[in-house]
Structure 1
Amino acid sequence: MNNDEFNKIPDQLKKQIPIQKVGKCSDTYSSLEIKELNNPDIAYKSIKHRLLDVNNWAHYATLTNADFILLDNNGNNLEGLATEDCFMKVRFSRLQKIISARYDYVRVHRIFKVPDFFDDALIMQLIPAHNPTKPGTEIDHFFTAEASNTFVLYRDDDKIHLSVHGRNEVPNFKVSKTTKKLRNMVFAALGIVAVSKVQWKSLAHGLLNYNIKIL
């Protein structure tokens, strides 16, 4: 964890990030200088929209070949912006596609705005989830249910900030099928945690900077 960067996050937002208790954690940070923007208000609103526009995340995350697909509670593809309790199916990298054709599933646990910041801060938190197209509640993700990724977007006098905070990242061996357990063991051994951190960094940078020169 980069404590210097983490400590710069306002306390009102920092307390929305789960406490690290088990496994590994990750933190990625990106920012955009206000002085570089023609219209900071329009730019910030566009970034907030992009953060919720999950189906287009792959356009912004250019360092890895990832898939992000928004789903409803029945597992059907969902158009529009993310809302609380909808699902996402995710493949983080080309490596993941080679090892396994399967997706991993997360649920949008929380989305909310925090007042008292320029144009409100936005928090979005993802947690590992079951596959909504199948019966049962077994977590269909390479991390256990205790893991989370929390996106923190806010603006101050000088910058627009976007950070992603992974917490309690433990490989998921609590699965019923041996093939799933082996898959998750391989993912853990090959550093999928590190791969996912690169992906979040790429996404945060892309969300902030995509077509920003025209704004």
Structure 2
Amino acid sequence: MGKIPDMKQGIIPEQTEGGQSNTSSSIRASSDQEARAMYNVARERLLDVNNWHNISGDLTATFELISPNGEKVYRHAKEGDHIRINIPGPGTSTGAGYDWVRVEKIEEQTDHNGVLSYLGMRVRPFKPPKDIDPDVAHFFQRDATSSFILTQYGAVLEASVLGRNEKPNTDTSSFWDRVRNFFVGLGAMAGLSKAQWKALVKGIIRVPGHSQMV
């Protein structure tokens, strides 16, 4: 899989401070052609943010795709969109009870012979769209990122969520948000968010009749 790490370099920031996390799941198809068909299905699932909760399970957060003008939209995610996240427990007052991220970058590559396909989407903590308050409405600070990666290499399909530079967001003007973000952020860094991401990556590549490798 020598080509895949080179592809990922454009979407995953360098780890410079705070915590980092890597969550992945993979599945092996019977042929490259079957894997490409599975990739196309998984690609739809990754970009269909509104459906993440349904493929992850009932005990996970809910995600809603919000356009830059603040309206919920029912389509694939695009650069500049926001994702409104409702996690179990108290939300942020800055984000009207929600955590928010912005879709910062989406890139996709594929070769000509169907051996290698790649899709990456990077999100970053952000304020709600059209909000004049500059405070980030998320339990992680603005430098943190989550990169959602889907790769097909030969007969192997893999989905990953890679977190970088994760630090609790205690810079907000709201005292209660600072307290909430500190504890929620520490919990996420300690691994509590890993179950959420594990459920998501499994759901993205799930195919009836195929056993997942990881």
TM-score normalized with structure 1 length: 0.85
**Coordinate RMSD, CA, aligned:** 2.6
Of the structure 1 ranges 30-39 and 163-172, higher mean CA displacement relative to structure 2 is found in: 30-39
Change in 2 beyond 3 A, CA 1:172/1:68: same
Give me the whole-angstrom Cα distance separating, in 1, the residues matched to 2:33 and 2:209.
8
Matches within 5 A, 1:81-120: 81-92=76-87, 94=88, 96-97=89-90, 102-116=97-111, 118=115, 120=117
Give me the whole-angstrom Cα distance separating, in 1, the residues matched to 2:13 and 2:92.
31
* C-alpha displacement of 1:172: 0.3
CA distances 1:146-205 after superposition (whole Å, capped 9, x unpaired): 00011111111231011110000000011011121111123135x133222221111000
Match for residue 21 of structure 1?
16
Give me the whole-angstrom Cα distance separating, in 2, the residues matched to 1:40 and 1:19.
30
Change in 2 beyond 3 A, CA 1:157/1:120: closer
Aligned amino acid, residue 125 of structure 1? R
Identify the match of residue 175 of structure 1 among 168, 172, 178. Answer: 172
Unaligned runs of 5+ in 2: none
Matches within 5 A, 1:1-215: 10-16=4-10, 17-35=12-30, 39-62=34-57, 64-92=59-87, 94=88, 96-97=89-90, 102-116=97-111, 118=115, 120-189=117-186, 191-193=187-189, 194-209=191-206, 211-213=207-209
Could you say what secondary structure the match of 2:30 adopts? helix
CA distances 1:128-158 after superposition (whole Å, capped 9, x unpaired): 0101152233211000110001111111123
| Preserved CA contact (<8 Å) 1:37 1:212 | no
Change in 2 beyond 3 A, CA 1:142/1:161: same
Give me the whole-angstrom Cα distance separating, in 1, the residues matched to 2:58 and 2:194.
11
Identity %: 31
How many residues align? The count is 204
Give me the whole-angstrom Cα distance separating, in 1, the residues matched to 2:151 and 2:52.
19
Give me the whole-angstrom Cα distance separating, in 2, the residues matched to 1:83 and 1:161.
22
TM-score normalized with structure 2 length: 0.85
Higher helix share: 1
Change in 2 beyond 3 A, CA 1:9/1:172: farther
Give me the whole-angstrom Cα distance separating, in 2, the residues matched to 1:10 and 1:18.
16
Give me the whole-angstrom Cα distance separating, in 1, the residues matched to 2:194 and 2:161.
9
